[in-house]
């Protein structure tokens, strides 16, 4: 409507000054034709752009709907996987206990009739069953982290470390291990998961000790990049980790030292640590510049 009024007004002005369009000077006529063509092209481009925007909007809506559907499907898959892991780890432990009990019973009752080789086979079975049970325990712990929404609260790290040392009392004594730390601050988090985090790290240091008694050091400082977080470092004097493995150390079931050398473990402990830290909106990493053993740092929120 506005364009029509503008055109009529332009025509009246031309007639008033020149009489008619045909009486316009050639250069003025050429200019009007150029303007007319440009305006027509502008109209066509505007229509094409409008249709493109409508199409883009429709595609965006369809894409959003598709992403939403995929997100819902992913949530269902994760939930199903967590349920499967919990059920599998629980149900499979019962036959493992049965196998373990009967193998040990046979080894005791038939000790005089079994050859030395046969008794060794029985020991191998018991050890394998024990490792499988550890794997299932680790799988269950890993699967339940993040299953339910956590409520953060004030967590006293001094109390957490005291509980960890009590939980690992016999293992610390057996390995002549010590845990050193200064007065530790409060953080924000889930007490059970924070306990599991530190217990896994201390236990890992005891497993992969060197030829000297293990010393595990815990240090805390403010995180340089965000004042709302504490940076916690746990270091030991153990065998450490080779440079090429430091990016894989937090992968679930990744055993970097294998079974050679008598190092036990399921390869779940540090994967659980990573998941706990991420549940607390933090991050965890290996200190690659530490050469006296193994050292890992992570950040946790200061306040609720």
Tens of pLDDT, residue by residue over 157-183, are: 999 999 999 999 999 999 999 999 989
Quote the tokens at residue 266. 């399921």
Domains located in the chain, CATH noted = 1-144 (1.10.287.130), 153-301 (3.30.565.10)
Tell me what the pLDDT averaged over the chain comes to. Answer: 78
Q: Across 51-65, 102-116, 134-148, 156-170, which has the greatest mean pLDDT? A: 156-170
Tens of pLDDT, residue by residue over 213-235, are: 999 999 999 888 898 999 999 99
Q: Determine what percent of the chain is predicted with pLDDT higher than 90.
A: 30
E-assigned strand segments in the chain = 153-156, 178-181, 186-189, 215-222, 229-235, 284-286, 295-301
pTM above 0.75, yes or no: no
Tokens 């402990």 found at: 269
Tens of pLDDT, residue by residue over 110-142, are: 888 888 888 888 888 887 777 677 667 666 666
- 250-264 CB burial, b ≥16 within 10 A, e <16: bebeeebbeeeeeee
Quote the tokens at residue 200. 């896994």
Q: Are 303 and 223 in contact (CB under 8 A)?
A: no
Task: Provide the 10 A C-beta neighbour count for residue 129.
Answer: 19
289 CB-side CA count, 13 A: 2
Instruction: Indicate the pLDDT class of residue 16, thresholds 50, 70 and 90.
Output: low
The DSSP symbol for 257 reads: S
């Amino acid at each position: 409507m506005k364009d029509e009024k503008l055109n009529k007004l332009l025509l009246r002005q031309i007639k008033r000054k020149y009489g008619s369009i045909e009486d316009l000077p050639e250069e003025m006529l050429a200019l009007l034709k150029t303007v007319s063509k440009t305006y027509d092209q502008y109209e066509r481009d505007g229509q094409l752009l409008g249709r493109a925007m409508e199409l883009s909007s429709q595609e965006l809506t369809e894409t959003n709907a598709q992403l939403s559907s995929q997100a819902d499907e992913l949530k269902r898959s994760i939930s199903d996987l967590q349920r499967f892991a919990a059920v599998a780890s629980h149900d499979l432990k019962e036959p493992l206990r049965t196998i373990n009990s009967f193998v040990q019973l046979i080894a005791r009752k038939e000790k005089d009739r079994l050859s030395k080789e046969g008794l060794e086979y029985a020991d191998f079975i018991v050890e394998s069953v024990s490792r499988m049970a550890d794997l299932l325990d680790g799988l269950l712990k890993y699967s339940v982290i993040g299953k339910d929404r956590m409520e953060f609260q004030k967590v006293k790290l001094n109390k957490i470390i005291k509980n960890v040392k009590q939980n690992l009392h016999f293992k610390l004594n057996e390995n002549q291990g010590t845990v050193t730390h200064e007065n530790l601050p409060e953080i924000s988090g889930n007490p059970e998961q924070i306990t599991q985090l530190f217990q896994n790290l201390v236990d890992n240091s005891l497993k992969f000790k060197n030829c000297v008694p293990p010393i595990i050091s815990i240090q805390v400082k403010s995180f340089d990049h965000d004042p709302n977080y504490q940076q916690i470092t746990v270091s030991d004097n153990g065998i450490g980790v080779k440079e090429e493995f430091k990016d894989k150390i937090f992968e679930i079931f990744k055993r970097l030292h294998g079974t050679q050398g008598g190092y036990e473990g399921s390869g779940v402990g540090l994967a659980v640590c990573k998941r706990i830290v991420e549940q607390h909106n933090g991050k965890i990493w290996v200190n690659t510049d530490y050469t006296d053993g193994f050292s890992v740092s992570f950040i946790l929120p200061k306040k609720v």
